[in-house]
Structure 1
Amino acid sequence: MLGLVLITSACSNEQAVARVNGETISRDDLYNFMVKQNGEQALDVLITNSIINQEAKKQNISVSQADIDKELKKVKDSFGTEEAFNQALKQTGFSLQDLREDAAINIKVKKLLEPKVPITEEEMKKYFEENKAMFATEEQVKARHILVETKEKADEVKKKLAAGEDFAELAKKYSIDINNKDQGGDLGFFGKGQMVEPFDKVAFSLAPGKISDPVKTEFGYHIIKVEQKKPAKQANYEESKSEIKDMLFAKKMQPVYNTWMEEKRAEYKIENFLTKKQTDTKS
C-alpha cells in the first residue's frame, strides 16, 4: 500500500503543465523555475505574514469582515469606478481574495503597532493646516462617453440612445476610446480642467441623467452622459480627522515596523529549508 502511495505521489509531481511538440514541461520544472526566479522573496513574505498572524493571535487581535470591506472600499474608491478597479485586478493577476488577505495582514500590522506610534491632536491639526488644499474638494462630475470619428456616426448613435438603447452597451460597440470602451465609456469622477475644453464645458453644464448632443473635440465626436455630480467642498478638520490620522500613521509607522519585525524574527524559530537557514528563539 505504501508503495502505491509513493508511485501515485511521484506521478502527481511529474504532472504535465504544458507540452511543446510533444516535449513535456512538468509541474516540477515549473516549480523549480519559479523558485529560482523569486522563490526566496516569496517565501520571505510568507514567513513575515506568519509572524504577523501569530503575534496578532497572541494579542487577541481579530479582523472582521467589516474591517476588510472598509479597507477594500478605500482601494476601490482610489480607482474611481468599480469597472476600473476590476480591470486593474485583471491586469495585475490579483484576485479579490488576494486583496482581502493583504488587507487583513495590513489591518493586523496597524493594530499591533498603533500603541508604538502615538499621534497627538496637535500633530493632526498642524498637518491639516499645512495641507488644507488636500482636504478640500472641487466640483466633480461622473460621466460616460462614446467617442466616434464622424458626425454621421455620432448622430447614428444618438438616435439609438433616443430610442432607448443602453449607453454602456453602445459605448462598448461603437466607442473608439480603447481606455474605457470595455467599461461602457465610464470616465469616473473628474474635476474642471481635466478634460479638453469643449468636453469639459458640456459635461459640467449637463444635469445628472442627461445625455449631450455630439461634442466635437480634437479626438473626434463625443456623446456624453452625466451620471452624478459632487459639489465643491471646503476643507473641514473634524470630517478629515480619520484620514489625517491614517496618513500620519503610515508616515511614522515604517521605521517602527522595520525594528519590530527584526525583533520578532530574532525571537521566533524560523526554519527556511529553501535556503537552508535556521534561526532559534532566544528565550
Structure 2
Amino acid sequence: MDKKDLNGNENLENNGTTEEELNSSDNTNEVNEVEVLAAEEPVNTTKEESIPVMNKVGSNNNTTPPAPPVTPKGNKGWMIVSVVLAAALIIVLIKPPFQKDDSTAVASVNGTNITKEQLYDKLIEAGGESTLQAMITTELVDQEAKKANVTVTDEDINTELENLKAQLGGEDAFNAALQQSSMTVDDLKKQMPLQVKLRKILEPQVTITDQEIKDYYEANKATFNEEEQVRASHILVKTKEEADAILKQLKDGADFAELAKEKSSDTGSKANGGDLNFFKRGDMVAEFSDVAFKLKVGETSGAVKSDYGYHIIKVTDHKDAKNYTLEEKKDEIKKTLVSQKVSTLSTTWLSDTTAKAKITNSLTDAKKEATASPEPSASAEAGTESAK
C-alpha cells in the first residue's frame, strides 16, 4: 500500500483533487441521461485501520476533506462515467427479456408464487424509465455518429480510458472508482463507445485560442507545480530498545523489507516491506519528514521518535520540485479546455438533436398524454347545465 492507503480517512487525494463517487441522475430526460455528471462524494476504500502517524498533518478520521482547488485534474471534463456505471447496474437487473402476462414463477414463498410479470413490473418501477431513456439516447447518438461517419476503435477506447485515469488522478483512483461501482475495466470498456462517439461528433465544433490557454495557465499556475517528494520505507516499533535492536540487525546485513514485514506495527505498510510510496514534506508528521527529506537515496536513519513510537526510515527514491512552464503544459491545458467545452456543448446538442427526432416511448408517453388532457372547465360545465 502507498501512503494514501495509510490514511485513516483515505480519500484518494491526487494533486490537490479529492476523489469522488460516480453517481448518476434519476432524471429521465434523455439529455440528462448522457450529460456529464461531476462526482460528488469522496470515495472511501479504507479496508483496515492503519497507524495514524502517516495521516497528513492536521487531518483525522472526523475531518471533512477540504474543497479541491482549481486544477486541470479537478475538472472531470465531460466524462459520462457516472451515467455509464449506474446505467450498467440497472441494465443488469432488467436484461432478461421477460414478457408481460408471463405467469411463470421465478420464486415462491410458502407456496405463493412470484411471477415473471410481477418481477418485470417491479424492475420497470425501479429503473425501467431511466434505462429505456438511456437506450433511446444511445440509439440517437449512434444514428448521428453514422451520419457523421464516426467510428470507434479499440485505440479510441484505450485513449478514453487513459484520459479518464488522468482526470481522476491516477491508476489507484481509477481502480478505486471501479471498485466502488462494482465494475471491471472490461465492463467499463463496453460502455465507452457512446462517450467516444459524442466526443468525436462535437470536438470539430470546438475551438481553443492561445489566449484561453494562457488565461487558464495563469489561473491554475500553482497547481501545475510539483513539490519535492521522496519515497521511503519505514519500520515502526513502540520502544527505542526495539528500534536499536532492529538497527543492529540491519547493520549485520538483515533485509529491511523482511524486517518491516516481521516487526513493524504499521499495518498499512508492513505487508509491502514498509514502503510508503512517494510523499511530500507536508504529508507526514514533522519528525518523520524532517529526517526523510535529509536522507539520500539508499540511506537509512537511526531511531526517529514521534508521538506514535520509533521509526527507522529508509529512503528509496527522490523527485526534485518542478515548476512547469506554459509551453510544457500547453497540450494538457488545451485537452482540458476542449473537454470542458464539449461538456457544455453536449447538453445543447443532445437537446436539439432529440427535439428534431421522432421518438416514441411507451413508458412515458402515456403519462404525458394523461397530464396533457384538460379537465372540463367550470364555464363549460355551466354551459352544459344551461343547455339542459
- TM-score, length-normalised on structure 2? 0.53
Q: Deviations over 1:152-173 (max 9, x none)?
A: 66678775996347569929x9
Q: Could you say if the C-alpha distance between residues 82 and 113 of structure 1 is closer, same or farther in structure 2, counting changes exceeding 3 Å? A: closer
- Which residue is equivalent to 1:176? 267
- Paired with 1:154 and 1:114, the residues of 2 have a C-alpha distance of 59
Is 1:147–1:175's contact at 8 Å kept on the other side of the alignment? yes
Cα gap change, 1:87 to 1:251, in 2 (>3 Å): closer
Structure 1 CA distance, aligned partners of 2:210 and 2:138? 32
| Residues 190/164 of structure 1: CA separation in 2 closer, same or farther (3 Å cut) | closer
Alignment of 1:39 with 2:128, yes or no, is: yes
**Cα contact 1:124–1:245 (8 A) shared by 2:** yes
Corresponding residue for residue 108 of structure 1: 197
- Asked if residue 73 in structure 1 is aligned to residue 73 in structure 2, the reply is no
2:192 and 2:105 mapped to 1: Cα distance?
35
Deviation at 1:40, TM superposition (A): 2.7
Please state whether the residue corresponding to 1:202 is helix, strand or coil.
Answer: helix
For 1:131, give the aligned amino acid.
N
1:97 aligned residue: 186
Judged with a 3 Å threshold, the aligned counterparts in structure 2 of structure 1 residues 225 and 174 are, in CA distance, closer, same or farther, namely: same
Name the structure 2 match of 1:163: 254
Q: RCO (CA 8 Å, sep 6+): is it higher in 1 or 2?
A: 2
Provide the rounded CA distance (Å) in 1 between the counterparts of 2:235 and 2:255: 15
Equivalent position of 2:206 in the other structure:
117
Aligned position for 2:293 = 204
Residue 233 of structure 1: CA displacement?
1.6
Shift of 1:262: 0.8
Provide the rounded CA distance (Å) in 1 between the counterparts of 2:237 and 2:112: 48
- Whether the 8 Å contact between 2:228 and 2:320 is mirrored in structure 1 is yes
Equivalent AA in structure 2 for residue 175 of structure 1: D
What is the aligned partner in structure 2 of residue 263 from structure 1? 352
Structure 2 residue identity aligned to 1:139: E
User: Are the structure 2 counterparts of residues 124 and 168 from structure 1 closer, same or farther at C-alpha, using a change threshold of 3 Å?
Assistant: farther
Letter in 1 for 2:348: T
Within 2, Cα distance between the matches of 1:252 and 1:42? 27
| CA distance in structure 1 between the partners assigned to 2:277 and 2:167 by the alignment | 10
| 2:354 corresponds to 1:242 | no
User: By how many angstroms is 1:207 displaced?
Assistant: 4.1
Q: Say yes or no: does 1:128 pair with 2:217.
A: yes
Superposed counterparts of 1:221-236, under 5 Å: 221-224=310-313, 226-236=315-325
Counterpart in 2 of 1:190? 279
Q: Residues 102 and 174 from structure 1, CA distance in 2 versus in 1: closer, same or farther, beyond 3 angstroms? A: farther
Bigger radius of gyration among the two: 2
* 2:136 maps to amino acid: I
Q: In the TM superposition, what whole-angstrom CA distance separates every residue of 1:8-33 from its partner, at most 9, and x where no partner exists?
A: xx79x7445xx999998888776654
Contact 2:257/2:274 (8 A) holds in 1: no
Number of aligned residue pairs: 266
1:264 Cα shift? Answer: 1.8
Distance across 1 between alignment mates of 2:167 and 2:270: 20
Q: Match for 1:217: what amino acid?
A: S
User: Which whole-Å CA distance do the structure 1 matches of 2:114 and 2:277 have between them?
Assistant: 44
Contact 1:208 1:228 in 2 (8 A): yes
Give 1:148 deviation, angstroms.
5.3
Q: 1:51 aligns with which of 140, 146, 154?
A: 140
Deviation, structure 1 residue 260: 0.3
Match of residue 26 from structure 2: none
**Other structure's SS at 1:123 match:** helix
Structure 1 counterpart of 2:141, one-letter code: I
Question: Would the alpha carbon gap of residues 260 and 84 (structure 1) be closer, same or farther in structure 2, given more than 3 Å must change?
Answer: closer
Deviation string, structure 1 residues 51-107 (Cα, Å, up to 9, x no partner) = 333322332223343343334334445666645543443233122123334544333
Could you tell me the TM-score, scaled by structure 1's length? Answer: 0.69
8 A Cα contact 1:168 1:183, kept in partner: no
Q: Aligned letter for 2:283? A: Q
Q: Is the 8 A contact 1:144 1:185 kept in 2?
A: yes
Letter in 1 for 2:346: Y
CA distance in 2, matches of 1:174, 1:29: 55
